Amino acid sequence: MKNEILASLDNPAQLERLYRTNKSAFKQNFNALYPELRDNTLLSFWNERLNFVREEISWGSSKELVFVILASLLAGLIAKLPAFIYINEEFFYSRNAGFIIFLALSAYFAWKNKLPIAKIAFIAGTTIVGLLFINWLPDDKKSDTLILSCLHLLLFLWSILGFVFAGEQKNNVEKRLSYLSYNGDLVVMTTLIVIAGAILSGVTIGLFSLIGINIENWYMKNVVIFCLPAVPIIGTYLTQTNPQLVGKVSPVIAKIFSPLVLVMLVIYLIAIVYSGKDPYNDREFLMVFNALLIGVMAIIFFSVAESSKTTKSQAEIWVLVLLSAVTIIVNGIALSAILFRISAWGFTPNRTAILGGNVLILINLLLVTGQLIRVLSKKTDITGVGKVITFYLPVYLVWSTIVTFLFPFLFGFK
């Protein structure tokens, strides 16, 4: 791409064609070349076009702001349903927490992307099927299939949100990577909002306690539960209308956390040997081990998604390669442990779900690591890694659908 840009410096039409062919690769390579070509007026224009950052905070259009406020209020009212119609709180929140959040976010992006009625109907129908199914399952607190369905339903709803986020560009690699970046930005923004809300709540409760009025229980049951679902909606609105708010923070977090997580993983694997912990016979330890695996994989994907926006140094690519390799080792240990438990005690819903998830993650990690090695050997660029990640995402949707909707029947609701 660099050579093509250099060859088209006096050809605005060709530059535009290159940009439209692969926007992320164009921006990445252009930013690498621009410091040497600052005197070119045409390239100065492209630099402003690609890297312009709004300095003031934008609150979007009045229609968008009204939509966000109404969506936040609706999400808060749904969260308070157990208080209005006397539904068991544990039953309601364990099964419907995902709908409280993802329903409003899906509605926001469907409205923002102006999806056609046919797609909105499909998305709404799919969501309603999930809502009816999860609330239809027998109320057996010891049922493993119920717990698995509730957990994988979150992944199912997250996938639907990605489908809505992409809009008419669902097969566009850049758009899929943008969805992963959006998730990372949303985590940063919601964390800041939650911290600010926690400080405000602490001050409010403290001030009332000074005058002898204890509002802690009332505040938690009413204000916090009502406002909490609005946090990701507001966070989404801010990241979409003001990408510059976290646009520079997220890449820094990715750069800092990737090597730190790598060091932590290596030390953790060594510590496992000395601690005597045995994932083969310790069920709880194996569950934590798998949660660690998912978390580290998410960090790798987030780092790659952020890397697609900027030029990546060889050192940073090496960190991702080593992190992926160590994560494959962690995955191998978890996979061998679950296979050992299946051979010793047979198949159960939990073991089958963990086995399937570990196999899918291992394949994904091997593909990503292979592409990262190709980046190191300069056979491809970081966008090639992004393509592998984004094209594999539908596999997780299929697996989450199987576990959510079929496992209860396959295992007799056990």
Helix or strand (DSSP H, E) at 341: helix 314-345
- Report whether pLDDT(247) > 70: no
Q: Is residue 380 part of a domain?
A: yes
pLDDT at residue 62, rounded to an integer: 81
185 and 398 Cβ atoms separated by less than 8 Å? no
**pLDDT tens digits, residue range 67-101?**
899 999 999 999 988 888 888 888 899 899 999 98
The residue written with tokens 């692969």 in the block is 22
What's the CA dihedral at 18, 386, 242, 312 to 10 degrees? -80
130 and 268 belong to one structural domain: no
Q: Is residue 57 part of a domain?
A: no
What's the domain range around 294?
A: 248-410
* 218: three-class secondary structure by DSSP: helix
97 and 225 Cβ atoms separated by less than 8 Å? no
- Report whether pLDDT(184) > 80: yes
- Report whether pLDDT(393) > 60: yes
Domain count along the chain: 3
- Report whether pLDDT(144) > 60: yes
pLDDT at residue 85, rounded to an integer: 83
176 and 85 belong to one structural domain: yes
**pLDDT tens digits, residue range 14-72?**
777 777 777 666 777 777 777 777 666 777 777 777 766 655 666 667 888 888 999 99
Which range, of 117-121, 312-316, 347-351, 375-379, averages the lowest pLDDT? Answer: 312-316
Which range, of 9-18, 28-37, 339-348, 350-359, averages the lowest pLDDT? Answer: 28-37
149 and 187 belong to one structural domain: yes
Report residue 89 as tokens: 């709180």
- Report whether pLDDT(351) > 80: yes
Which range, of 19-23, 151-155, 222-226, 385-389, averages the lowest pLDDT? Answer: 19-23
Choose between 270 and 34: higher pLDDT: 270
pLDDT at residue 128, rounded to an integer: 93
Which range, of 100-114, 176-190, 307-321, averages the lowest pLDDT? Answer: 307-321
Helices vs. strands in the chain: H and E counts, helices first:
20, 0
**pLDDT tens digits, residue range 172-181?**
777 888 888 8
Amino acid code (one letter) for 182: Y
67 and 172 belong to one structural domain: yes
Residue by residue, DSSP assigns 70-125 as HHHHHHHHHHTHHHHH---HHHHHHHHHHHHHHHHHHHHHHHHTT--HHHHHHHHH
Instruction: Name every residue whose Cβ is closer than 8 Å to that of residue 18 and which is 6 or more positions away in sequence.
Output: 1, 4, 5, 8, 26
132 and 236 belong to one structural domain: yes
Measure the CA–CA gap between 327 and 361, rounded to whole angstroms: 10
- pLDDT, average across residues 166-173: 76
222 and 354 belong to one structural domain: no
Q: Is the pTM of this model over 0.95?
A: no
**pLDDT tens digits, residue range 296-317?**
888 887 777 766 555 566 777 8
270 and 404 belong to one structural domain: yes
395 and 389 Cβ atoms separated by less than 8 Å? no
Closest CA to 145 of 381, 335, 342, 352: 352
pLDDT at residue 146, rounded to an integer: 92
Report residue 200 as tokens: 């405000």
156 and 91 belong to one structural domain: yes
312 and 336 Cβ atoms separated by less than 8 Å? no
Measure the CA–CA gap between 349 and 410, rounded to whole angstroms: 9
Choose between 293 and 190: higher pLDDT: 190
pLDDT at residue 55, rounded to an integer: 56
Q: Is residue 406 part of a domain?
A: yes
Return the percentage of the chain with pLDDT > 70, whole number: 91
